[in-house]
Amino acid sequence: EIVMTQSPATLSVSPGERATLSCRASQSVSSNLAWYQQKPGQAPRLLMYAASSRAPGIPARFSGSGSGTEFSLTISSLQSEDFAVYYCHQYDNWPPAFGGGTKVEIK
């Protein structure tokens, strides 16, 4: 069973600044990794799939990178609507697994 670890747990960032979130897999998941954004009281929303492909409608300020066991999600210039919790998700094999999440909060 693959364990996904996200860091940091909380990231304090000022609007307009760059944010980089990390996700590590306990074994290789190739590029079968997704990122989701979740705001309070809402369902998660797919941001990235295949590690670096943006889902339809996702702004270009979101980018993903990595393969194997190390991945990152970068938000180039944080907007007010980007403050949320972000989850990574490996779907390389069964069982799929989510990381514990990174909360991006206003500094």
Partner 1 sequence: EVQLLESGGDFIEPGGSVRLSCAASGFTFSRYGMSWVRQAPGKGLEWVSTISGGGGSTHYADSVRGRFTISRDNSKNTLYLQVNTLRVEDTAVYYCAKEGALTTSLPDAFDIWGQGTMVTVSS
Residue 81, classed as helix, strand or coil, is helix
Largest CA distance in the chain: 38
Q: How far is the CB of 50 from partner 1 (least distance, A)?
A: 8
Nearer to partner 1, 61 or 103 (CB): 103
- Binding partner 1 by CB under 8 A: which of 2, 24, 31, 45? 45
Question: Which residue do the tokens 């889902």 mark?
Answer: 55
- Quick note: the x/- pattern for partner 1 over 14-43, rule CB under 8 A, is --------------------x-x-x---xx
Specify the length of the chain in residues. 107
Between 48 and 75, CB nearer to partner 1:
48
**Whole-number minimum distance, CB 99 to partner 1, in Å?**
7
DSSP 3-state assignment of 38? strand
Q: Given candidates 7, 70, 93, 107, which one binds partner 1 under the rule CB under 8 A?
A: 93
User: Cβ closer to partner 1: 35 or 78?
Assistant: 35
Residue burial 73-98, b: 16+ Cβ < 10 Å; e: rest: bebeebeeebbbbbbbbbeeeeeebe
67 scored as a contact of partner 1 (CB under 8 A)? no
